[in-house]
Amino acid sequence: MPVLQTLELGDPRLRQPAQPVDQIAAPEIQALLGDLWDTLDDFRQRHGWGRALAAPVVGVALRVVVLTYETQRLVLINPRFESWSRTQTVEYERCIAFGSIWGQVYRPERVVVVAEDAAGAAQRFDVDGELARLIQHEIDHLDGLVWLDREPDLATICTAGERARQRTAQPPTG
Ligand SMILES: [Zn+2]
């Protein structure tokens, strides 16, 4: 299965809402899932990061996400929110479509999301923390949004190089 080209920020296809998938068992949808996994795995191998890939990020306007979290490999087809927590958290994010930029984004701490899996079975995720953030970032892609649209504090936006420097900086002592 081919590794697909990931789009870069500025490509108008990243700002286009994606369509629901009707026939999950269709060969072209199953082939797309294979291609998304191959593309994500290839990206991780080449760049050392990247945990999820939404179909619009490879220019396919369908509501399909593949996601790795700890030891899980999840497929979310037609994901939708059942609920959000009122409480928000703020964390740094970056995106495969513009990985050289980081910024702090506020998002609900906990979400309940329903979606179909690769076999068309219903799944429900009641999640918080990193996984909740990751799923929200990916569903944004299905709606034609990137994290910059989530009103990050502009003063927190930094380059990957600067972010790495900040993370390795020694904490002040004594
Ligand atoms: Zn992204």
The predicted pLDDT at position 94 comes to 97
Residue 134 belongs to a domain = yes
Q: Is the pTM of this model over 0.85?
A: yes
Residue 93 belongs to a domain = no
Residue 154 belongs to a domain = no
Residue 40 belongs to a domain = yes
Q: Which residues are catalytic?
A: 138
Q: 5 C-alpha vs ligand 1 centroid, how far in Å? A: 14
Residue 167 belongs to a domain = no
Residue 130 belongs to a domain = yes
Give tens-digit pLDDT for 62-121: 999 999 999 999 999 999 999 999 999 999 999 999 999 999 999 999 999 999 999 999
The predicted pLDDT at position 39 comes to 98
**What is the residue range of 140's domain?**
12-86+111-145
Q: 172 C-alpha vs ligand 1 centroid, how far in Å? A: 33
- The closest alpha carbon to 117, from 74, 150, 154, belongs to 74
The predicted pLDDT at position 170 comes to 60
Residue 48 belongs to a domain = yes
Neighbours of ion ligand 1 (CB under 5 A): 95
Look over the chain and give the mean of its residue pLDDT values, rounded to a whole number. Answer: 96
Domains contained in the chain, number: 1
Helix and strand totals (H; E) in the chain:
3, 8
Q: 1 C-alpha vs ligand 1 centroid, how far in Å? A: 22
Q: 14 C-alpha vs ligand 1 centroid, how far in Å? A: 9
d(CA 85, CA 62): 27
> What is the domain-level CATH number for residue 73?
3.90.45.10
